[in-house]
Amino acid sequence: MGWLVVTEPEQTSTPPKDTTTFKEAPFLALKGFLMGSADIVPGVSGGTMALIVGIYERLLNAIKSVNGNFIKLFFTLKWKAAFKEIHIFFLAFLFLGIFSALAFFTKVVPLQVYMFTHPEIVYGLFFGLIVGSIYILIKALERFTKTELLMLVLGMAFGIWIVSLVPADTPEHPAFVFLSGSIAICAMILPGISGSYLLLIMRKYDYLLSEIGKLGGVETVDGLIGLLPFVLGAVVGLAAFSRFLSWLLSKYHSQTIAVLIGFLIGSLYVIWPYQHRDFVQRAEVTQVEYMNHPKVQELMENPPNTNLPEYERIGEIRNADSTFEEMKQVEIETVKNKLIKSEPFIPGWLGAKPGDDPNVWGGIIGMLVGVILVGGLDRLRDK
């Protein structure tokens, strides 16, 4: 009971110095991988994982070390002195693990694709993880009085309101991506709520994974441009809310946890695995190449899988009247299937429509696996 209790590190004029050694570097990278996995898979937050692996207090101290003095030294080009101010070794090894997890779940196991091709299984897994997290949070309550009940109800109402407020298709404008980053990053230091879950609610989860998935290939520059507003938003959000959130958990732990429980319950239906999802195709010309170009030839020989969230296809021929075939220029279009409407239903009962053919067992198995995974993490903290 109460394993999510967060105690504020002893207040000093400056955060404790970085005590990271090279001997613990591999273990820090592994813990970072676990945190990154928790952040990218909706359900278990990175903050919760940091608590489980025993680095939560060090994480808070590392974040607080990035203070005004560091910023002043950094922008006056006194970089050696600036990096002495922060917990550079701790953060470097930790983020090495986090970025490794991001690469794994976008390149090796591309969740952004499986969400589209196997929605019942993937969303079932997410749903089970959230339900399991709610149970863990309930266990973490130190007490449950009328105040906590009120906070839970308010959190639930806020969750329902947020989900109903956010449209099925949110803009990919840099300003909204910036806002998404500033909100989602708070979950990194707030145990109990997943940043990926917040991105799911804001309909930016698949977008972010798609942009990360572009890195390391021919679309690296496009991926970096797409991620830049999110990263900037994350930096601003972390700087603005880290101290406030740690203070809130320290002073009003039970009330804060109650609000989180209510929020999760209220917004849970947005990832219910059985939903009527309506998509619209949006095509954009991204390249114009000659007919004998290798990419054009490849697309002509191997038609794209139109069931993917994003794919390329051959568009119109711009100079179809050209005498020579190899001189003809053809458009290459990038097609995105965008979610515009989503309505939850219970198979064979509430909200079901004639002709529905959901993967019922896939959703059930996904939910069970999600709950079991959270249960395993709960047992891990006792080891």
- Grade residue 147 by pLDDT with cuts at 50, 70 and 90: very high
Same domain assignment for residues 339 and 367: no
Give the amino acid at 228: L
Same domain assignment for residues 203 and 339: no
Same domain assignment for residues 244 and 120: yes
Same domain assignment for residues 156 and 179: yes
- Per-residue pLDDT, averaged over 208-222, amounts to 82
pLDDT at 1: 33
- In-domain check, residue 205: yes
Report whether pLDDT(43) > 60.
Answer: no
State pLDDT tens for residues 73-107: 888 888 888 888 788 888 899 999 988 988 888 78
**Contact (Cβ atoms closer than 8 angstroms) between residue 185 and residue 45:** no
- In-domain check, residue 77: yes
State pLDDT tens for residues 234-285: 888 877 776 777 677 778 888 888 888 888 888 788 789 999 888 888 888 8
State pLDDT tens for residues 271-310: 899 998 888 888 888 889 998 899 989 998 998 888 788 8
Same domain assignment for residues 104 and 191: yes
Domain that holds residue 291: 281-344
Using only the alpha carbons of the chain, give its radius of gyration: 23
- In-domain check, residue 12: no
DSSP code string of 272-306: -S-EEEEEEEEEEEEEEEETT-HHHHHHHHS---T
Same domain assignment for residues 46 and 163: yes
Please return the burial class of 169, using the count of CB atoms within 10 Å of its CB with bins 0-12, 13-18 and 19+: middle
Report whether pLDDT(343) > 80.
Answer: yes
Please state the φ and ψ torsions of residue 337, each to the nearest 5 degrees: -90, 110
Same domain assignment for residues 290 and 247: no
Same domain assignment for residues 287 and 145: no
Same domain assignment for residues 239 and 328: no
> Domain tally for the chain?
2
